[in-house]
Amino acid sequence: MTSYKAFHARSIEDRNGFWGEMAGLIDWNKPFSKVLDYSRPPFAKWYVGGETNLCHNAIDRHLGVRGEQKALVYISTETGEETSYTYRQLHAEVNRCAAILAGLGVGKGDRVIIYMPMIAEAAFAMLACARIGAIHSVVFGGFAAASLATRIDDARPKVMISADAGMRAGRAIHYKQLLDEAIDLAKFPPQKVVLVNRGIDKGMQVVAGRDLDYARLRSQNMNPQIPVTWLESNEPSYILYTSGTTGKPKGVQRDVGGHAVALAASMKYLYCGEPGGTMFTTSDIGWVVGHSYIVYAPLLVGMTTIMYEGVPIRPDPGIWWKIVSENEVSVMFSSPTAIRVLKKQDQSYLRKYDVSSLKHLFLAGEPLDETTHGWIADALGVPVIDHYWQTETGWPILTAVPGVEKTPIKLGSPSFPAFGYDLRLLRETDASEAEAEEKGVVAIVPPLPPGCMSTVWGDDQRFIDTYFTTFSARMVYTTFDWGIRDKDGYYFILGRTDDVINVAGHRLGTREIEEAIQTHTNVAEVAVVGVADQLKGQMPLAFAVLKDVSKIATPQLRAAHEQEIMATVDAKLGAIGRPSRVHFITLLPKTRSGKLLRRSIQALAEGRDAGDLTTIEDPGALEQIRAALAGK
Ligand code: AMP
Looking at the CA of residue 288, tell me the nearest atom of ligand 1. Answer: 4
Looking at the CA of residue 480, tell me the nearest atom of ligand 1. Answer: 10
Q: Is the pLDDT of residue 52 over 90?
A: yes
In terms of phi and psi (left: phi > 0; alpha: psi -120 to 50; beta: otherwise), the region of 596 is beta
Give the residue-averaged pLDDT of 606-610. 90
Closest C-alpha residue for ligand 1 atom 9: 390
Question: What integer pLDDT is reported at residue 275 of this predicted model?
Answer: 98
Distance CA 200, CA 174 (A): 9
**Could you tell me the distance, in angstroms and rounded to a whole number, from the CA of residue 100 to the centre of ligand 1?**
36
**Could you tell me the distance, in angstroms and rounded to a whole number, from the CA of residue 364 to the centre of ligand 1?**
7
- Measured over the CA atoms of residue 100, residue 104, residue 106 and residue 110, the dihedral's sign is negative
Helix runs in 186-241, H state only: 214-219
Question: What integer pLDDT is reported at residue 350 of this predicted model?
Answer: 87
Confidence of residue 32 (pLDDT cuts 50, 70, 90): very high
What global pTM score does this model have? 0.93
The answer to whether 584 and 574 have CB atoms below 8 angstroms apart is no
Question: What integer pLDDT is reported at residue 599 of this predicted model?
Answer: 87
The answer to whether 227 and 243 have CB atoms below 8 angstroms apart is no
**Tally of CA atoms within 13 A in the half-sphere of 264 that contains its CB:** 21
Looking at the CA of residue 414, tell me the nearest atom of ligand 1. Answer: 19
Distance CA 347, CA 369 (A): 19
- CATH of segment(s) 504-629: 3.30.300.30
**Could you tell me the distance, in angstroms and rounded to a whole number, from the CA of residue 440 to the centre of ligand 1?**
16
Own/partner contacts of 455-460, CB < 8 Å, gap of 24 or more, are 455/43, 455/253, 456/250, 456/251, 456/252, 456/253, 457/154, 457/155, 457/236, 457/239, 457/250, 457/251, 457/252, 457/253, 458/154, 458/251, 459/251, 460/43
Taking only Cα atoms into account, the Rg of the chain, rounded to an integer number of angstroms, comes to: 24
Give the residue-averaged pLDDT of 615-623. 88
CATH 3.30.300.30 occupies which residues in the chain? 504-629
Question: Does the beta carbon of 366 sit less than 6 angstroms from any atom of ligand 1?
Answer: yes
Residue of 389, 410, 411, 423 best suited for mutating to test ligand 1, as the one with most atoms within 8 Å of CB? 389
Question: Does the beta carbon of 502 sit less than 6 angstroms from any atom of ligand 1?
Answer: yes
**Could you tell me the distance, in angstroms and rounded to a whole number, from the CA of residue 389 to the centre of ligand 1?**
6
CB atoms within 10 A of CB 238: 28
Q: What is the pLDDT of residues 324-356, one digit of tens each?
A: 999 999 999 999 999 999 999 988 998 899 999
Question: What integer pLDDT is reported at residue 594 of this predicted model?
Answer: 77
Question: What integer pLDDT is reported at residue 511 of this predicted model?
Answer: 87
The answer to whether 50 and 232 have CB atoms below 8 angstroms apart is yes
Question: Does the beta carbon of 481 sit less than 6 angstroms from any atom of ligand 1?
Answer: yes
Q: Residues of the chain with pLDDT > 90: what percent?
A: 90
Looking at the CA of residue 391, tell me the nearest atom of ligand 1. Answer: 2
Give the residue-averaged pLDDT of 365-376. 93
Question: What integer pLDDT is reported at residue 44 of this predicted model?
Answer: 98
Confidence of residue 426 (pLDDT cuts 50, 70, 90): very high
Question: Does the beta carbon of 365 sit less than 6 angstroms from any atom of ligand 1?
Answer: yes
Question: What integer pLDDT is reported at residue 247 of this predicted model?
Answer: 67
The answer to whether 58 and 100 have CB atoms below 8 angstroms apart is no
Q: What is the pLDDT of residues 108-147, one digit of tens each?
A: 999 999 999 999 999 999 999 999 999 999 999 888 899 9
Question: Does the beta carbon of 154 sit less than 6 angstroms from any atom of ligand 1?
Answer: no
Looking at the CA of residue 363, tell me the nearest atom of ligand 1. Answer: 19
Q: At what angle do helices 87-103 and 120-132 cross, to 10 degrees?
A: 70
Helix runs in 450-518, H state only: 460-467, 510-518
Choose between 246 and 546: higher pLDDT.
Answer: 546
Question: Does the beta carbon of 390 sit less than 6 angstroms from any atom of ligand 1?
Answer: yes
Residues 141-177 as b or e (16 or more Cβ within 10 Å = b) = bbbbbbbbbbbbebbebbbbbbbbbbbbeeeebbbbb
Provide the β-strand partners of residue 477: 444
CB atoms within 10 A of CB 486: 12
The three-state secondary structure class of 259 is helix
Give the residue-averaged pLDDT of 243-256. 86
Q: What is the pLDDT of residues 59-71, one digit of tens each?
A: 999 999 999 999 9
Dihedral, CA of residue 284, residue 287, residue 293 and residue 294, to nearest 10: 30
Q: What is the pLDDT of residues 435-478, one digit of tens each?
A: 999 999 999 999 999 999 999 999 999 999 999 999 999 999 99
CB atoms within 10 A of CB 181: 17
Confidence of residue 1 (pLDDT cuts 50, 70, 90): low
Question: Does the beta carbon of 507 sit less than 6 angstroms from any atom of ligand 1?
Answer: yes
**Tally of CA atoms within 13 A in the half-sphere of 272 that contains its CB:** 20
Mean of per-residue pLDDT scores for the chain: 95
Question: Does the beta carbon of 387 sit less than 6 angstroms from any atom of ligand 1?
Answer: yes
Confidence of residue 222 (pLDDT cuts 50, 70, 90): very high
Looking at the CA of residue 392, tell me the nearest atom of ligand 1. Answer: 2
The pair phi, psi for residue 249, each rounded to 5°, is -65, 150
Architecture of domain 4-310+387-481: 3-Layer(aba) Sandwich (3.40)
**Could you tell me the distance, in angstroms and rounded to a whole number, from the CA of residue 536 to the centre of ligand 1?**
13
Question: Does the beta carbon of 391 sit less than 6 angstroms from any atom of ligand 1?
Answer: yes
Q: What is the pLDDT of residues 256-278, one digit of tens each?
A: 999 999 999 999 999 999 999 99
Give the residue-averaged pLDDT of 416-430. 97
CATH 3.40.50.12780 occupies which residues in the chain? 4-310+387-481
Q: Give the max Cα distance, the chain.
A: 73
**Could you tell me the distance, in angstroms and rounded to a whole number, from the CA of residue 431 to the centre of ligand 1?**
22
Residue of 393, 481, 500 best suited for mutating to test ligand 1, as the one with most atoms within 8 Å of CB? 481
Q: Which helix (H) or strand (E) holds 336?
A: helix 336-343
Closest C-alpha residue for ligand 1 atom 18: 388
Amino acid type, 489: G
Choose between 411 and 616: higher pLDDT.
Answer: 411
Question: What integer pLDDT is reported at residue 235 of this predicted model?
Answer: 98
Closest C-alpha residue for ligand 1 atom 4: 390
**Could you tell me the distance, in angstroms and rounded to a whole number, from the CA of residue 443 to the centre of ligand 1?**
14
